[in-house]
Amino acid sequence: MSIKLECDETHWPLAILVAEAPMDAASVSSALDRIQRWQERQQPFALLLIAACDPVLRGDAMLSQLVAQRIESVGDALQRSLLGVAIVAPTAITEAVRQSLARLPLDMPLEIFEKSLPAVEWLCRTVLAPAGLTIESL
C-alpha cells in the first residue's frame, strides 16, 4: 500500500512535500511524478521536503537507485526548474539522509534541517532571492 504524501503548492514558487510515514516505491514514484509535473510548468521553484518519520525510505538502496534514475531521465530540465531543496528530517536520521543524497545526481543547493522555519528561510535567502523570486507568506 502506497503512503499518501501531502503536497502543497499554495506558496509557489515554494513547493512542499510532506511524508508522515516511511515511503515505499509507490510513494516515492508518486512524489517524483509530482515534482516532474511542477518541473513541466517551466517555472523555477524550490522544494521543501518534510520527512516526519524515521526511516524516510523503506529499502533505501533500491529507492535511492529509483530516484537517481528518474533524476537522470529528466536531466537538465529538472536542473533548470528546481533551484534547490531543503529537507527537514528528525535528528536521528540526518546523517543517513545526507548519505542517501550524496548518491543522487543533483547539482543544486541542497541542505538538511531539523526544523521547518530555518529550512524555509534558507530556501528564500539562498535559492529563491538570487533568482528574483519571493513567497508571499507561509
Nearest Cα neighbor of 46 from 107, 120, 103, 117 is: 120
Question: Where does the pLDDT of residue 3 fall: very low under 50, low under 70, confident under 90, or very high at 90 and above?
Answer: low
pLDDT the model gives residue 126: 96
For residues 16 and 50, is the Cβ–Cβ distance under 8 A?
Answer: yes
The residue ranking higher by pLDDT, 127 or 67, is 127
pLDDT the model gives residue 4: 67
For 62-94, write each residue's pLDDT tens digit.
Answer: 777 777 787 778 777 778 899 999 999 988 888
For 15-63, write each residue's pLDDT tens digit.
Answer: 999 988 777 778 888 888 898 899 989 999 999 999 876 655 555 667 7
Burial class (CB in 10 A: 0-12, 13-18, 19+), 46: buried
| CATH number belonging to domain 6-131 | 3.30.750
Set of cell numbers at residue 126: 539562498
Domain ranges for the chain: 6-131
Q: Is the pLDDT of residue 13 over 60?
A: yes
For residues 56 and 23, is the Cβ–Cβ distance under 8 A?
Answer: yes
Q: How many CA atoms lie within 13 A of 6 on its CB side?
A: 12
pLDDT the model gives residue 1: 47
